[in-house]
Structure 1
């Protein structure tokens, strides 16, 4: 859900002398699942393993398999936590090569089961749990102060949709097993999860599927949508040719209807040029001195050349130098003490700038909660330093995931890019800029479209621009986590979107 901001600081510091004699190298820290640095409660050890005492098939109400996916199984139970008046499922997707993804599903509250679409939600990092989104942002319950309980939340996105929160990549949240350090591979595993989920619960399979995420979700969401879309095309083609095997006929065309990216990192080449603007010349008071922003901007030309090399070659050798150099641009902001996820407030505490994150850790590390959910591990990892570092070393950070969006648009899949306008780390200027620059068949029409007010309850909640099946939404008064800062408006946004109603 978020992009790290400090984690990379440790990695980047070792290369500081190579880039230039700066006092520190910034890297997106693990502040809130986003761009960050050293993550609290995380480790760089070997892949996580289950806690032996928690392993038991008896705790599962169902273990589902498919002949079409012989290396996968889905373990399912029905917990009763927080939103206890809502049908819930939790469990694991297991693979034969030691990967175990945890999920938590909530049924729609105010729409008949057969009419509600499914929203799949992923937080970012890379390496932060999607349960941050669940218990802090858009779930049907929000953790209470102190972390001893969670209470119903009126603005949960399961108002009119079934919502699945999945902990991916591996070794975040309650997930564990073999490491996966690139977004494309993670997307393919999510595709298999959805196939098994719909196979297990066909009652949810007849409506639309919307894949949403925030922050590093700007990588995850396009990668997951690519995996779904390409598998759907392959399945349909084989079906038309009559060459599907008996096992393959168990699969289905996943009903991918739209994707949504909130305050995402998707096109770094475009987005990195707006950090100075957001820190010194945004619609909010400046956070840094102008000379600090000028220094930040002066590094962009070199940064851009390195990112262009990454875009060309797309391997770790080409992409890692871009990550290391470009994130030196961030050090002044990080050292300022300001919240990288909200220019209006200071960074509070040590846990990703938001005290509520500690409450989430307390709640999800409660043995009673873990038992009710069916966790195989005895420690909940809100963010994993190892996963974060693995993605960085693998060169995934600077890769051009925006290039996965045009094939989706041209196939008729709807795309929403939204951004809280107080976020610095994945700011709305950069997100709007890459949306306007995106090469697709409707580029000219989207660029020519005028921004218009998005109004909620008679008040302007933001500015929207839509052309055909592509929309950009600037959300007023929200930081990196739009549903946390503007829950009522965020619910209006998702409800309009899944109903295919315009923002203006």
Structure 2
């Protein structure tokens, strides 16, 4: 039961499917010669572990050298050209009709919009090659929200990288309310998923028109939606970013320049937080670590929030068996035999995952990903389901299982919308998720890398951490997040591990989940929500956010 997955790309290598590359390549070498020529050259350690060589040999025997070398070459080709954009032109759509209508209503052909009208912000003494383009939005044109908005790009000149962002001020009190940077996962998915599908000021309906969201996270906070890394959404580059660590450098530069432009949001009355979901379990802790280790930073980080994240793969991979085998709060779906086989597959995965954790390089982590992604391949008795919500079938044909995600993509591909936002002409088409970026991260071994150590670092530095999880998600589920957080080695480990779960009581005296807390570390299970909690439980997610931002880290009792 191999599940294609873009929002939490645990199975990225399996989803890419080596069998998809059919061009024959004649290889007249034995396996050792093949390894030396095609594989050992990609590793970056002088100490080659014999068990890793054995793993590569096993994969070569199983897949065949022709298919595997095609996969490696395909990655190299992507990495060298890496367009970051899709070049096909779109047919006129309802979004273009909306553009024409709004254009007529608002008579918006002003030179300011047509010429993009960017202000450029830089800090050359600190970031020699970075600058931030900023332009004030026109909320009345897109009908998303009436609050003040800004869009623009972080430009990294020497690397030809351009990261798009969209900033919405708080509906309440922007002068004093917190600031949140929101990041979607993938790796390779645009934060427009969060903006239009989960927690932003409006969603997009099937008529490709905005629908106001009363439970938006900018109800009491200002929110930045950032398309990162390059190649995602409206961001573009002729280069590549294929590791979380490299992406973190760009995000830190973005934040420094953002707060230089908007010093009014960097005052004692404002608090800055980073939130994300799915592969955000990699992004958010690492980016936060990057920030707190910059001694000359001009802003402070107040907390992080991670929803249904992928952080500690070694522990979390076994939780997929838990969800199918009656240990995740739902009835057992797989047979006893299939559950036993999944357990055996996990046991086989563990030593390779540990080697990845120890060596932390592509040579160790790519085969670990390939071997560990097989967990669940044997399950045939369970009907196909939405991996982001085990209760539902997969909708549509976009590979993301939610047909409504196509609506926001159509909206964002409107030439009018792109003009209003000041999108660079290099972006021919907006994509919700980019396989190019996902493959790049997969073949750098980034997906299997451990990131829980950054959570421990943050806690030791006094940075509050909230892990929340909808309990009907399969792919980055609550069971795995609960297990790795309980196992996290930090100074409060024993107290946190033994802390009892208490009811999470929300407005109306409703029990909306259960919460485990010690001091500034919290794990929150949210009942009857899938992978994207703000989509399934908008009222609960907003209350969760507001209480966390107010410092109620224990979510103690009633609001």
Normalising by structure 2, report the TM-score.
0.79
Indicate yes or no: 2:9 matched with 1:9: no
Correspondence for 2:128 among 49, 53, 70: 70
Q: Does the aligned pair in 2 maintain the 1:451–1:465 contact within 8 Å?
A: yes
Deviation digits for residues 430-469 of structure 1 (CA, Å, limit 9, x no counterpart)? 0000000000010011112111001112110110011011
Structure 1 residue 70 displacement after superposition? 2.1
Aligned to 1:185: 246
Structure 1 residue 16 displacement after superposition? 11
Correspondence for 2:465 among 410, 415, 438: 415
Structure 1 residue 76 displacement after superposition? 1.4
Q: Does the aligned pair in 1 maintain the 2:308–2:478 contact within 8 Å?
A: yes
Deviation digits for residues 258-302 of structure 1 (CA, Å, limit 9, x no counterpart)? 011110110001111111110121322334333222221211111
Aligned to 2:524: 473
Cα distance change on mapping 1:430 and 1:369 into 2, 3 Å = same
Q: Does the aligned pair in 1 maintain the 2:136–2:151 contact within 8 Å?
A: yes
Aligned to 1:173: 233
Aligned to 2:453: 403
Question: RMSD value over aligned CA atoms?
Answer: 2.5
- 3-state secondary structure, aligned to 2:155: strand
Deviation digits for residues 459-482 of structure 1 (CA, Å, limit 9, x no counterpart)? 101100110110000000000000
Aligned to 2:275: 212
Correspondence for 1:373 among 415, 421, 424: 421
CA distance in 2, matches of 1:140, 1:201: 21
Correspondence for 1:284 among 304, 324, 330: 330
CA distance in 1, matches of 2:117, 2:339: 54
Cα distance change on mapping 1:332 and 1:380 into 2, 3 Å = farther
Aligned to 1:125: 186
Structure 1 residue 17 displacement after superposition? 9.8
Indicate yes or no: 2:288 matched with 1:225: yes
Aligned to 2:515: 464
Structure 1 residue 45 displacement after superposition? 6.3
Aligned to 1:157: 217
Q: Does the aligned pair in 1 maintain the 2:9–2:447 contact within 8 Å?
A: no
- 3-state secondary structure, aligned to 2:446: coil
Indicate yes or no: 2:257 matched with 1:196: yes
CA distance in 2, matches of 1:287, 1:164: 40
Deviation digits for residues 66-103 of structure 1 (CA, Å, limit 9, x no counterpart)? 22222111111222233331111111000021110000
Compare CA radii of gyration and give the structure with the larger one. Answer: 2
Q: Does the aligned pair in 1 maintain the 2:86–2:429 contact within 8 Å?
A: no
Q: Does the aligned pair in 2 maintain the 1:131–1:173 contact within 8 Å?
A: yes
Structure 1 residue 149 displacement after superposition? 1.6
Deviation digits for residues 379-429 of structure 1 (CA, Å, limit 9, x no counterpart)? 102111111000000000011100111111011100011110000001101
Cα distance change on mapping 1:450 and 1:7 into 2, 3 Å = closer
Any unmatched runs of 5+ in structure 1?
A: 24-41, 236-251
Q: Does the aligned pair in 2 maintain the 1:16–1:22 contact within 8 Å?
A: no
Correspondence for 1:100 among 151, 156, 162: 162
Aligned to 1:269: 314
Any unmatched runs of 5+ in structure 2?
A: 1-5, 20-54, 64-77, 88-112
CA distance in 2, matches of 1:362, 1:285: 38
CA distance in 2, matches of 1:16, 1:260: 37
- 3-state secondary structure, aligned to 2:303: strand
Aligned to 1:495: 546
Aligned to 1:142: 203
Deviation digits for residues 99-140 of structure 1 (CA, Å, limit 9, x no counterpart)? 100001111112x22211111110000001010010000001
Normalising by structure 1, report the TM-score.
0.87
Cα distance change on mapping 1:21 and 1:360 into 2, 3 Å = farther
CA distance in 1, matches of 2:339, 2:168: 44
Aligned to 1:87: 148
CA distance in 1, matches of 2:15, 2:514: 38
CA distance in 2, matches of 1:5, 1:229: 28
CA distance in 2, matches of 1:421, 1:20: 38
Structure 1 residue 198 displacement after superposition? 0.4
Indicate yes or no: 2:390 matched with 1:343: yes
Aligned to 2:92: none
Q: Does the aligned pair in 2 maintain the 1:256–1:413 contact within 8 Å?
A: yes
Higher mean Cα deviation, 75-84 or 179-188? Answer: 75-84
Cα distance change on mapping 1:196 and 1:489 into 2, 3 Å = same
- 3-state secondary structure, aligned to 2:534: helix
Structure 1 residue 43 displacement after superposition? 12
CA distance in 2, matches of 1:6, 1:394: 14
Q: Does the aligned pair in 2 maintain the 1:138–1:157 contact within 8 Å?
A: yes
CA distance in 2, matches of 1:16, 1:142: 45
CA distance in 2, matches of 1:366, 1:228: 36
